[in-house]
Structure 1
Amino acid sequence: MTGAEIPSAFHDLLSSTAVAFVGTIGKRGEPQVTPLWFHWDGERVRISLVEGRQKLRNLRRDPGSPSRSSTQPSQPTTSNSEAESTT
Structure 2
Amino acid sequence: MPTRTTEYRTEAERLQYERAIAYVQERNRLGTTATPGTVLDTCELFALEWEREWLRENFATPSGAHRHGTRNVFGFSATLVEKY
TM, length-normalised to structure 2: 0.31
Higher helix share: 2
Structure with greater Cα Rg: 2
What TM-score, normalized by structure 1, do the two folds share? Answer: 0.31
Between structures 1 and 2, the one with greater strand share: 1
